Structure 1
Amino acid sequence: MHLPPLPTIREIIRIYKLGSIKRLSQNFLLDTNITHKLVRSMGRNLTGAHVCEVGPGPGSITRPLLEAGVEHLSVIELDKRFIPSLQLLSKASGSRMSIYHGDVLRFNFDQIFPDTLSRPWEEHPPKIHIVGNLPFGVSTPLIIRWMNAIADRNQAWRYGRTRLTLTFQKEVAERMIAQPEDEQRSRLSIMTQYLCDVNLKFVINGRSFVPPPEVDAAVVHFTPRVEPLIPYPFKVVEKVVRHVFQFRQKMCKRGIQTLFPPEQVSMPKEMIALAEIDPETRSFQLTIDEFSRLCGAYMEICRKNPGIIDYYFRDEENAPSWKYQRPSSI
């Protein structure tokens, strides 16, 4: 679906004087071969799909999305300097594009997709996609926030198993797909893989961006799983995984100990025993199944010991009100 003749993205940047802002981690992707490849990596057929692009900037990915035949494209842009160039694209698209000026970290996706697209979670994903060339500075907190929404099935995931196709710093992308024993395995590996099927589609050389960052980037595709691999609340999983990876090169028992007050020396041992984990295993060697057992064991201990769930070892003064209660006699 071709757009009418328009200035090139390079010309748009020159006409509107859209220099990148370093503090916003802005790096423009101007190679049309790569932007079209990124759009193709979203799936074979986008005709009739509703897509949300985060951080469109001057519109280098926006154009191939519109040309792919999407039914409607919503874009979320924080930098108001880009709004006029995006309005130019919106007009050229024949009203198939909506522009939202705001911070994607605070954006609510509840109302931008029609309810008619909703599908039961167990069925095939809806014709809804989220795509974006993310600023490296916000990519990690944003993907954790979206994993939380996937776990709770709200925002863009109240419509079903909405897919994502996003760019990350190559090292971050490699962490997301890292398997046990891989030195890259981290908290991100567990938090993304337990909720989604995660695939690294291709690597983008840093020289393809303007200005070129010091690192390469990679495109990652996420499809939410019908059933999460860890069947416990997101906040519990995130807390256990974060603590276990506090000391990723040390034995996992060291991170487990930080989940409990120092005086409760028996609780870490109880958690390890309940989970049937080798306490000398390093965090990056643990499988998702082992993390699942650790989460279940932690929840069991918290159930028997009210108040433990609110303990934060790094910030006891400012953490939520915590008061340890002795176990009941049950």
Structure 2
Amino acid sequence: MIPKKLPPLPPIRDLIRVYGLSANQRFSQNFILDKNVTDTIAQHAKISEKDDLVVEVGPGPGLLTRSILDAGARRVVVVEKDSRFLPPLQQLSEASDQRLGIIMGDMLQLNHFDILKAGLAIPSAPSQISSAIESMQDPAQNHREFTGMGMNDREATIRLLGNLPFGVASPLLIQWLKMMALRQGIFQNNNKVSMTLMFQKEVAEGIVAPPSHHQRSRLSVMAQALCDVKIAYKVSASVFVPKPKVDAAVVHFERKAEPLVSGSLEKLEDVARYYFNKRRKTMGHNTNRMARLAPEVKLILDEWITEGGWDMNMRTEDVSTEQFCALARKLDRAQLKIPLT
């Protein structure tokens, strides 16, 4: 059965006034008050009643949450750090026939099993939920229970959304990419997890930047190693209250069927960090410098150069994600560390 649209609700602007919800600068908060904008974000996230779970990070007063529910999501779990937003979110949960679960906590610290448990506790979830949740005592038990209830199989579709506070957007993305690489948390096993996330426009452009783009960065390489990424929607600063100094953009991430790295992203992150720390220098200069700083790596680097791993006259921003991943795999197989300065 397709979930009903939400009943008429007070405008978000009125709820902000009633509950005294001024934006907290400490949490880098900026509200969106135009539902046309949040509806568009939900549309780019491809929300539908077919999704097993939609997770929203940092819902604030809940306008994007309304758009997600109106798009037909059957189970939505929001994670909010600021307890001031609990009353309007609870009101929204009641209006949605309890399709909305609420977790108050810091997403950077949260155990993802708590998100899955909250999703499974929503009434539209399988009927065996109550007894299963009571028996969840440890990660191994959690794994068994989620496997048995379809939240952990090849068909499970999970959407992760967020109008992320600019101050924590990049750390959150890096955490999620590392979890995706290791198939942990909501990214476990073969779950089909997509992410639709808002960043400062410059950060978003860096994430999707191709080789030879001046905004290419370590984050570009890490994201593109695992996901197909694109800017789905640009959002003017004038949409936000209070108005930030910069525009924003929504980036959509779809996990690649065949990621360019398997297992941990740590070595790839180290390789990208090393080279981008000296991005003005040529790849030859930086590669030779690495060999001097870490002589144990020299043999691998000599092989890499002989094989034509990259043009030594290139700058860091010109190197493809595939080339960075190939060197990271070589170093990882040899269990070698590289200098990060």
TM-score > 0.5 by shorter chain: yes
Q: CA deviation at 1:22?
A: 1.3
Task: Note the alpha carbon deviations across 1:273-300, whole angstroms, 9 max, x for none.
Answer: 2552222211100012211232133235
1:45 has 2:48 as partner:
yes
Cα contact 1:240–1:259 (8 A) shared by 2 = no
1:94 has 2:126 as partner:
no
Unaligned runs of 5+ in 2: 121-145
Give, as a single letter, the amino acid of the residue that structure 1 aligns with 2:76.
L
Q: CA deviation at 1:67?
A: 1.6
Give, as a single letter, the amino acid of the residue that structure 1 aligns with 2:153.
R
1:164 has 2:167 as partner:
no
CA distance in 1, matches of 2:294, 2:161: 47
- After superposition, residues 194-233 of structure 1 pair within 5 angstroms as 194-231=225-262, 233=264
Question: Residue 291 and residue 31 in structure 1: after superposition, are their counterparts in 2 closer, same or farther (change >3 A)?
Answer: same
Unaligned runs of 5+ in 1: 315-330
CA distance in 2, matches of 1:141, 1:211: 23
The percentage of aligned residue pairs carrying the same residue is: 38
- Figure out how many residues of one structure are paired with residues of the other and give that number: 304
Q: CA deviation at 1:131?
A: 0.6
Task: Note the alpha carbon deviations across 1:135-174, whole angstroms, 9 max, x for none.
Answer: 0111111101100011001101115121111111111111
Q: SS at the partner of 1:61?
A: helix
Cα contact 1:28–1:57 (8 A) shared by 2 = yes
CA distance in 1, matches of 2:284, 2:263: 21
Tell me which of 143, 149, 153 is aligned to 1:119.
153
CA distance in 1, matches of 2:42, 2:17: 25
CA distance in 1, matches of 2:222, 2:106: 23
Give, as a single letter, the amino acid of the residue that structure 2 aligns with 1:12.
L
Q: SS at the partner of 1:222?
A: strand
1:240 has 2:274 as partner:
no
Give, as a single letter, the amino acid of the residue that structure 1 aligns with 2:215.
Q
Aligned Cα RMSD in Å?
A: 2.2
Q: Name the structure 2 match of 1:294.
A: 327
Q: SS at the partner of 1:117?
A: coil
Tell me which of 17, 22, 30 is aligned to 2:25.
22
More displaced stretch, 191-200 vs 243-252: 243-252
- After superposition, residues 309-328 of structure 1 pair within 5 angstroms as 309=337, 312-314=339-341
Q: Name the structure 2 match of 1:110.
A: 113
CA distance in 2, matches of 1:45, 1:193: 26
Cα contact 2:178–2:264 (8 A) shared by 1 = no
CA distance in 2, matches of 1:104, 1:156: 12
Q: CA deviation at 1:216?
A: 0.7
Q: CA deviation at 1:38?
A: 0.5
CA distance in 2, matches of 1:237, 1:274: 21
Cα contact 1:260–1:313 (8 A) shared by 2 = no
TM-score calculated relative to the size of structure 2:
0.83
Tell me which of 136, 146, 151 is aligned to 2:166.
136
Give, as a single letter, the amino acid of the residue that structure 2 aligns with 1:26.
Q
Q: SS at the partner of 1:291?
A: helix
CA distance in 2, matches of 1:254, 1:232: 29
Give, as a single letter, the amino acid of the residue that structure 2 aligns with 1:131.
L
